[in-house]
Amino acid sequence: MNEKWEPIKVQVSPVFITSHQLSQEEFEISFVISVSPLGMTTYTIRKFVGTFQDNTYVNR
């Protein structure tokens, strides 16, 4: 969520523990935003309540 508490689209990527094992606990997220030069903005990560399929904020 951005500073106005508006949800933004994210990509969730797997984290590899070894070359052929994915972490069950650790994930990497990516989202596209614009920050002004030398600017700073706060984003908040919140756990989605519900199933992954219900989560429309994930950019699939």
Partner 1 sequence: MVRDSRSIDSVVPFTVDVKERLDPFTLENSYLKASFDSNGLLTALSHGGRETASVAIQFLHYGTRSGNQAKSGAYLFLPGGPGRVVEASAEENGVRIVEGSIRSQVVVTLPLVVHQVTLHRSPGIDGVNLDIDNLVNLSGQSNLEVAMRLVTNIDSGTVFYSDLNGLQVIIIDVTSDSFS
| Binding stretches for partner 1 (CB under 8 A) | 9-14, 16, 19-24, 30-32, 34, 52, 58-60
Shortest separation between residue 44's beta carbon and partner 1, angstroms: 18
Shortest separation between residue 49's beta carbon and partner 1, angstroms: 15
CA distance 47 to 39: 26
Residue whose structure tokens are 């984290």? 15
Q: Which is nearer to partner 1, 2 or 13 (CB)?
A: 13
Shortest separation between residue 5's beta carbon and partner 1, angstroms: 21
Q: How far is CA 2 from CA 31, 42, 51, in A?
A: 11, 7, 22
